[in-house]
Structure 1
Amino acid sequence: MAKPLEGIRIVEVAMWAFVPACGGMLADLGAEVIKVEPPAGDPLRGLKIGSLGSADASYDWSWESYNRGKRSITLDLRHEAGRAVLGRLLEQADVFLTSLLPPARRSMGIDAATLRARFPNLIYASGSGTGPNGPDGEKGGYDAITFWARGGIASSLTENDAPAPVGPPGPAFGDTLSGAMLAGAIAAAIARRAMTGEAGEVDVSLLGTAMWSQQRLICQATADGVQRFPRPSGPPHNVLVANYRTADHRFVALCMLQADRYWARFCEAAGRPDLATDPRFANDAARRANGAECHAEVTALFASRSLAEWKQILSRQDGQWDVVQDVGELQDDPQVQANQYLRRIDAGDGETIPMVASPMLFEGKALASTRAPELGADSDAVLAELGYDEDAVIDLKVQGVVF
């Protein structure tokens, strides 16, 4: 099966996680992504996190995840000879992808105005902290501060009396979501160029993605003149839209939005048909009026049985529910396995490592991935493809332009 972006060449001058995650997704989609790194490498390479258990700690999961499928060439873009090599790369490229701040881009002559003038068919794509316009348009950002904190997510998740804001669930949470947004923008720009001949510029920001992810709260808070969207308090308005602890201290998540449709069926399956006929709980209005009592009944009901028992019970009714899973359980989820959302890729030397697949299927199949490159692994090959002979490559290495 041909991948949708085969034949597209992308030159990436980016570091850390946000924009590289975009490049990794585009590589999964079939694009040739050439990652240009400084001689010291992308600083993400130095942030390796040790193993959480007894597994081999030799793999850098951040690096592997966000730089999958790329080729790596080292170039010192502060050096004129390095920028000359980049120019030759861009002659054959469809997309220039960067996370460098605007002042750095201008100092190296790789800003949008300069490159678009030289390469009018080039799509110029950038990932920014807060967007290219406005007083902070040239300021950097990280997902923990720009996406999570400034974007309002931390506040929306934090209880009113908490000693500190809730933190993100893991490394690069906002980066990977924003990277997927940027990949979508680039795919749209490629389609526009194919249909109209018009290349152009695209930008996606951490702040903008954070706002998109919680647009419902932002729109209502803006319309109602509320600074902080209120956290839910007291019993849920609908007891069938809530999380409940089981006897073995697991959680089940219910999301039966049409409560009157599902209430009697749920009570029957759970062995408590009396709850459905109780006048206090007979319909949605009654359950709301007696919310604390109804919630207490359902909470006690869930606490009386194990997760395994509840899975059997809930499978007998047609309301919507799911198990609150831990990340380590996902590898055994039958839907994850059937759709290859987590697959093992060749790590060399006969070993394989796990990799989360890009979450889009084509013809019902997940996109294959390959490992992230070692620093400068493809420098010689890429330079040869650009027409540099052996002496020219050696000269670039002597100058310190290429590692």
Structure 2
Amino acid sequence: MYDVLKGVRVVEIGSFVFVPLATAVLADWGAEVIKIEHPRTGDPYRGLVTAGMTSQVDDINISFQYANRGKRSIGLDLGKPEGRAMLDMLLAQADVFVTNLRPAVRSRLRLGVEDIRKANPNIVYVRGAGYAQKGAQADTAALDGTAYWARAGVSAALTPPGSEWPLNQRPAFGDVMCAMTLAGGIAAALYRRAAEGKPSIVDVALMNVGMWQIQRDILSAPFERADLTQRAVGRTERNPLTNAYRTQDGRFITLAIVNPDSYWAELCRVIGRPELVDDARFVNAKARRANVEACVAILDAVFGAQNFDYWRKALAGFSGAWAPVQRPAELHADPEARDNGFFTELAFDDGRKLDVVSSPVTFDEFSGPRQMPAAPEVGQHTEEILLELGCSWEEIETLKDKGAIT
């Protein structure tokens, strides 16, 4: 899709979403990504379809596709000496090694920093983890639902006060944020290696990204009164131009105008109530704050008198910050998303197509459709990659007979 990382080769031993999605971003940016999978079981994320834990359309595992588009897959059994030797051959020609295996597994498979750099001293070594590499929980199993969502405080920060149970996250909610963070760290490490000749060790932890996400809550917490029960701020306790308003058909329009005096007159004209501009109760922010209940009540009535589509059209030219509260299905036809390339078309070998969300960085302005190859089957490119490494067909057959490759 892009060529900013053209010539960079990435070797990934990753599973589920966090690390694989990070390397998918690198593939979007032009890197060659080789995904190493066990020749018989593959990435366990493939199997969540049969467990009913991810979405499938026809025979396409949608979740696996968005996290692994644009890669090639080689099936290697790293528990066999021959499979491990093939990994070293790949690493010798690679720029980046990425994994989310825990320390004990990396040690058993000889995938630590020293082991990898025996094959290539100049390689950037990258780890994605739940709780990073130090501390008592470095070897603890972790997913974004635990390390990012629960342990980092995100769930508690977003759960409405008074709720009996904590709010559950959406699938891979933390993983996608961590993936972009990791991709950015890898890009920075590649720049450092190019500028200084020094290969970095890059670490990103789910818990750390979760803390980063709610850092305002974390930084404020020590200064809040412990005896005050957390509660939600009511709609009439804030600037009325930073509220959601219900439309006639039960949908919502959100206003987020934090400097309301600059936009009050324009808003009044757009919503068809120009007389409110000079109403003494609402003439400026101080007046509106003093009469917030009346202001919110008027705006409730105004927005409630027309349907969702009406307000989308009426507010289209309004220069203040507003947005329709959309449903995920509506994003597929959103003109802003389409005009700016926020979807990438995946192409399958059989001619089918699938739209996935584009990684959120645009290089050199969007000028046409974004397209990438679909995610590979397990070991789909094993022979192709081994031939590129200089293996003969006889050697490949021997590796297959020994169960070291797909």
- What is the TM-score when the length of structure 2 is the normalising length? 0.92
Native 8 Å contact 2:89 2:119 kept in 1: no
Native 8 Å contact 1:19 1:97 kept in 2: yes
Confirm or deny that 1:129 pairs with 2:121: no
Give per-residue Cα distances to partners, 1:333-357, cap 9 Å, x unaligned: 1111112211333223332221222
Confirm or deny that 1:87 pairs with 2:91: no
1:209 is displaced (CA, Å) by 1.2
Give per-residue Cα distances to partners, 1:61-101, cap 9 Å, x unaligned: 11110000111011111222211111111111110000100
> Which residue of 1 is the match for residue 384 of structure 2?
381
CA–CA distance in 1 between the matches of 2:379 and 2:116? 24
1:117 is displaced (CA, Å) by 4.6
1:318 is displaced (CA, Å) by 2.5
Q: 19-28 or 40-49: which moved more? A: 40-49
Runs of 5+ unmatched residues, structure 2: none
Give per-residue Cα distances to partners, 1:280-304, cap 9 Å, x unaligned: 3332122223323322221222111
> Which residue of 1 is the match for residue 26 of structure 2?
26
> Which residue of 2 is the match for residue 15 of structure 1?
15
> Which residue of 2 is the match for residue 213 of structure 1?
213
Structure 1 381/152 Cα, relative in aligned 2: closer, same or farther at 3 Å? same
Q: Aligned residue pairs: how many?
A: 401
CA–CA distance in 1 between the matches of 2:288 and 2:101? 55
CA–CA distance in 1 between the matches of 2:211 and 2:317? 39
Matches within 5 A, 1:54-93: 56-93=57-94
The amino acid of 2:164's aligned partner reads: P
CA–CA distance in 1 between the matches of 2:371 and 2:316? 33
> Which residue of 1 is the match for residue 273 of structure 2?
272
Matches within 5 A, 1:87-236: 87-169=88-170, 171-224=171-224, 231-236=232-237
> Which residue of 1 is the match for residue 287 of structure 2?
286
* Identity across matched positions, percent: 38
1:260 is displaced (CA, Å) by 1.6
> Which residue of 1 is the match for residue 330 of structure 2?
329
The amino acid of 1:313's aligned partner reads: A
Q: 137-146 or 252-261: which moved more? A: 137-146
Give per-residue Cα distances to partners, 1:343-382, cap 9 Å, x unaligned: 3332233322212222221221375321000111011111
Structure 1 28/343 Cα, relative in aligned 2: closer, same or farther at 3 Å? closer
1:116 is displaced (CA, Å) by 2.8
Native 8 Å contact 1:156 1:229 kept in 2: no
Native 8 Å contact 1:156 1:231 kept in 2: no
Native 8 Å contact 1:48 1:62 kept in 2: no
Give per-residue Cα distances to partners, 1:137-159, cap 9 Å, x unaligned: 23231111211111222111111
Structure 1 360/266 Cα, relative in aligned 2: closer, same or farther at 3 Å? same
Give per-residue Cα distances to partners, 1:98-120, cap 9 Å, x unaligned: 01001100111111132235422
Give per-residue Cα distances to partners, 1:47-71, cap 9 Å, x unaligned: 1287999x94211011110000111
The CA RMSD over aligned residues, in Å, is: 2.3
Native 8 Å contact 1:250 1:324 kept in 2: yes
Q: 198-207 or 377-386: which moved more? A: 377-386
Structure 1 29/321 Cα, relative in aligned 2: closer, same or farther at 3 Å? same
CA–CA distance in 2 between the matches of 1:230 and 1:51? 34
Could you say what secondary structure the match of 1:299 adopts?
helix
CA–CA distance in 2 between the matches of 1:120 and 1:316? 57
CA–CA distance in 1 between the matches of 2:121 and 2:354? 41
1:135 is displaced (CA, Å) by 2.2
The amino acid of 1:370's aligned partner reads: P
